[in-house]
Structure 1
Amino acid sequence: MIVRSIGKKLKTKLIGRQIYYYEELGSTQELAIYLAENNSEAVNGTAILAERQERGRGRINSKWISPSGGIWLSIILKPNMPANKSPLLKFIAALAVCDTIAQNTGLESKVKWPNDILINHKKVCGILLDIATKGSSIEYAVIGIGINANVNIRKILPYIPDHKGNDVSVTSLKNELSGKYVNRPSFLKLLFERLEHYYCYLEKEDLGGVVILDQIKDRLDILNAVVTIQQKDKTIEGLVVGLGLDGSLVLKKNDGSLIEVLSGDTRSRVIKQQH
């Protein structure tokens, strides 16, 4: 039903034109990677959609809780662009999600670098990117998007480490809409359309990457804030002043020097923010 509802008025040429739909699946990301590598029928823009996931995956192989009511999907892309542009693919997904939330619900969202979407400082969406390259070309990319749409947050809270009482770091669209349900087929339709818009722009326009990064910068939740980045072997503190051309976070240190923290470094995370 959800697939038929999406396809009736979908205004895309690639994204979502082929959908694999499951009531329950181990992981949409795992299946999408398998199809990208082994199934020639998994064309550019193929989407894998599940009502529930048993092994939903977040960054650094963390578990992503995926109960009924959410939007759990992965999209196979075969970009015609150099491999050094690949880190920007997660940012076009972030812009597409933010646009869709705004247009479909009226809610304002922010981007938490490198790959989360926040509403009122609480996580509502996570984005995952897996890429296979050959030389300087991209063989395929799989963008995973998990959105707490109509999810009952109480089903997620037991899985959040150190969560205490009302100190909740996650939310859902339904929760932010005071209990109003989101029409998921309509939301997905718009999400596919916005994603294709940014994907084609990044692929075809010479300055597409610069424009995408400028829009992400405008939506960063930590722009002009002092943050501490914890990496595997060191801690970096500085004022967030922007993004590098590769999507890295640019920090200004106390001595005035600039340092770039790569968004592709999966060992990095923002652990403190001051205003």
Structure 2
Amino acid sequence: MQNEVINILKKEERFSDETIDEIRKVGINDFADIIMDVGKQDTEYIKRDEIQKGLKTEKIGKEIYIYKEVMSTNTVAKFLAENDVENGCVILSEKQSKAKGRSGKQWESPLGGIWMSLIIKPQIDHSKIPMITLAAGVAVVKTLEKIGIENAEIKWPNDVMINDKKVCGILTEAITKFNIIENIIVGIGIDANFDVNTLPQELQEGTTTLGHELGHKIDENEVIRLLLEEIETTIDLIYENGFEFMLKEWRKYSYSIGKIVEVKEPFNKSYDAYVLGISREGALVVEKIDGTLEKVISGECIIKK
């Protein structure tokens, strides 16, 4: 987190190298106001005014910080969450230089994408954290429907797919204190307008963008506004009806159910299985080759062609 704060301060060119060295020795929270001020400056592509104009939410997106480039919006969100930002605060960046997905995988984040983190101050216990990831996936798919993409699906636990290619990844992280959840950071990365041929070779075949699927450039600011509205609607419905309602929606959009997958769980051997569905806890329910049933709580499920 300290490196992220230092990185933002360096880009502002307000401080000499000697001052930066001194900053490393003091509490970085002393510079929260500066980091917030930087996030209020004008940016070239992602525009606060365009997002908030007509935004139909009560909490989500009422406070927005936008950066030209950060290492990771989730890291900035963690820092700001420690410094009294509002519930529903949104952090956006036009680029990310060192973003991470699940299991620490590198997440490519060039210009032309939607790189966003949302700070939620929830009233849930630890066991429900995976459900937040699933709920975010539902919100993304419903947002894509509103801009004309009707075949987006959710690959358990955190990817959104279009035509068997990844268009969005979600990374949820909890900030706890004395075993109490203080904040949940929901990182959402959507491939919007960039050319996938600019990505590393190994990522090109399995990646798509909204612009490619629609055949024209999309308005990132409009998609962000629609997504913030959909997230708040989804959260409200969860509070009103419980997580079971959201799970029904997730099942409707599932890319994983009915497929043969290779399951890779932490510290366990991988195995092949058939995906039967999802449990009330958000775990993937699979049938192994020997007929036994397993609940996959964490790990990776690779679809087998």
TM-score by length of 1: 0.89
CA contact (8 A) 1:82 1:136 kept: no
1:88 corresponding residue in structure 2: 131
CA contact (8 A) 1:86 1:138 kept: no
Which of these residues, 258, 271, 275, is aligned with residue 302 of structure 2?
271
Which of these residues, 112, 121, 144, is aligned with residue 164 of structure 2?
121
1:173 corresponding residue in structure 2: 210
Q: Which has the greater radius of gyration?
A: 2
Distance in 2 (alpha carbons) for counterparts of 1:90 and 1:66: 20
Amino acid at match of 1:246: E
Structure with greater contact order relative to length (CA < 8 Å, sep ≥ 6): 1
1:31 corresponding residue in structure 2: 76
Larger strand proportion of the pair: 1
1:185 corresponding residue in structure 2: 221
Distance in 2 (alpha carbons) for counterparts of 1:153 and 1:226: 27
Amino acid at match of 2:270: T
2:94 corresponding residue in structure 1: 51
1:226 correspondence with 2:260: yes
Distance in 2 (alpha carbons) for counterparts of 1:107 and 1:22: 31
1:238 correspondence with 2:281: no
Q: Residue 211 of structure 1: CA displacement?
A: 1.3
The aligned length equals 259
TM-score by length of 2: 0.80
Q: Residue 233 of structure 1: CA displacement?
A: 2.6
* Range with greater deviation from structure 2 (187-196 or 126-135): 126-135
Distance in 1 (alpha carbons) for counterparts of 2:263 and 2:64: 38
Q: Where does structure 1 lack aligned partners over 5 or more consecutive residues? A: none
Q: Secondary structure at the match of 2:257?
A: coil
> How big is each residue's C-alpha offset from its partner over 1:145-175, in whole Å with a ceiling of 9 and x where there is no partner?
00001111111134x36x6xxxx10010111
Aligned sequence identity (%):
35
Q: Residue 273 of structure 1: CA displacement?
A: 2.4
Distance in 2 (alpha carbons) for counterparts of 1:270 and 1:89: 19
Q: Residue 135 of structure 1: CA displacement?
A: 6.0
Distance in 2 (alpha carbons) for counterparts of 1:137 and 1:243: 26
Instruction: State the superposition RMSD in angstroms.
Output: 1.7
1:17 corresponding residue in structure 2: 62
> How big is each residue's C-alpha offset from its partner over 1:240-273, in whole Å with a ceiling of 9 and x where there is no partner?
11111221100123443321010xx2xx212242
